[in-house]
Structure 1
Amino acid sequence: MRAATYESYGSPDTLAVRDVPDPKVGPGEALVEVRRAGVNPVDWKLMSGGLDGMMEVTFPVVPGWDVAGVVRAVGPDTPEVAVGDEVMAYARKDWVHGGTFAELVTVPARALAHKPAGLGWDEAGGLPLAGLTALRTLRRLEVGPGDTVLVHAAAGGVGLLAVQIARELGATTVVGTASEGNHEHLRELGATPVSYGAGLADRVREIAPDGVDAVADFVGGVLDDTLAVLREGGRHASITDPSVTEHGGSWIWVRPDGEELQWLADRAADGRLVVDVAGTYGLDEVARAFARSQQGHVSGKLVIAVGD
């Protein structure tokens, strides 16, 4: 099969599309023919060696953790899916090696969700990691009816989904930080936008004078603002800043979860959750997609189109 690979840590320039062996399909796994694979910042952070102290790596690496595609084979004792099923998954494994920027990938059954017929391939490929990160964060924050929630980096791939999921979970007010160019879109999704930067805490207090009930940080470097607007007894969590644990917060690292992904996919299919796709690239263009992601300020998800 063809796959984007890298032989050692480095920049996007180290990526090359090569022929590699088809993956073996073990017990409790499905072999998925990849239609779409979402790009996430963690992909190029892994490639740079930034997570070497956390995860085992076997070179050459096929990067990518998001996938949407069609089941082509199943391993022993995998009753959850059948050949021909359209599926999607956050396909992170216990070590970094055989990822989703390839024509084929094996995925543990526990990570798989069925792709609803009403959900497009681009959206299905872009949803898993970002959607599950947003959902796990908001679940940990126990967001529910009546809450006022602050979302840092609300116009990013995770933040856009978090804004919508918070409303789906019952939050009354969702305040989202973003540049002014993204404010109108956030309003369309049900958020009250505020500009980030100096004076952020004051701007949030104008909307929520009594403080906010929960803060979801998807950018880092905002702990002081978080603590300044959090009401007494409020909850906060970050996906980028482990120091929040020293201030009563939670550091989130999302897990593959097929059931939670199905919850997200069903809502995306019926229009309750919009998956913004900011760009689609071919398998030969993974390096370009990584470079764009590294620049920051991508509003929505970047997706790799592998098959039709």
Structure 2
Amino acid sequence: MNSEWIAVDWGTSHLRVWAMRGDTVVDQAQSDKGMARVDRDEFQAALLELIEGWLGAEPVDVIACGMVGARQGWVEAPYSAVPCAPTPVTPIRVPNTDARIRAFVVPGLKQTSPPDVMRGEETQIAGFLASRPNWDGVICLPGTHSKWVQVSAGEVVSFRTFMTGEMFNLLSGHSVLKHSVGTGWDDAAFVDAMADTLSKPEQLAARLFGLRAADLLQGQDGSIARAQLSGFLIGAELAATRPYWLGQRLAIIGATGLSETYAKALKTQGAFVETADSTECTLAGLLLARNLTRQTA
């Protein structure tokens, strides 16, 4: 099976690839060989492991976004400064690749004040805006490092990053809370914890230790602790981003479960939220990037 082009989302932990014909996915694959798990001279081999069966005699365009363009990645794709379009420049060509591929990496975006950067999310934003002409508002991209992005007139105006997802993983797996946070979920506990920290973010550190104390003294169920931990952290994030979402047109781009969690939290505060699938937005953004490479070929 030969593909017309290949879409690649290469993050810190995972590598995802799609064989494409136009905007249609004809096959897909993934591995755990993210940017943090391969050396610079191993990127091509990690990619070929997944796409070898999609290649033919003629070279195929490979369009990649994410941490593959970082300083430690396959090729460094310099950041573009905001305000600018989500993908303002032609993707960077990877030199000296296998003759069967032409590989390109989408550059990320940077903000000088306050300092901030993104890689991968700019492609999702471009894909989201492609199907929504003249869309203005705020886009939330929840994840390991959640992004809040102000969009106006087709440009990213400003953005902020929050380490909420990484903090959840560290606290639940590598702190004293690992003994109290279990599996499962409790919606009511999440909503109450989120509202508590949203109104009193200065209490966050005390609320976190309270999860351990509630387990030791009251035998609190681990599923409740898990939901509360998420609620406390997301509540603190929403408190910090209130100027972004309060009274604004708002969209969430992310994996279904996490997007629903953020949407639920925001809706309890009266926000109107639309959601979009992160994979669909990524593929639409990579298609736009591919068209840029063809225009300049």
TM over 0.5: no
- Structure with the bigger RCO (C-alpha within 8 Å, sep 6+) is 1
Which structure's CA Rg is the greater one? 2
TM-score normalized with structure 1 length: 0.34
Which structure's residues are more often strand, by fraction? 1
TM-score normalised by length of structure 2: 0.35
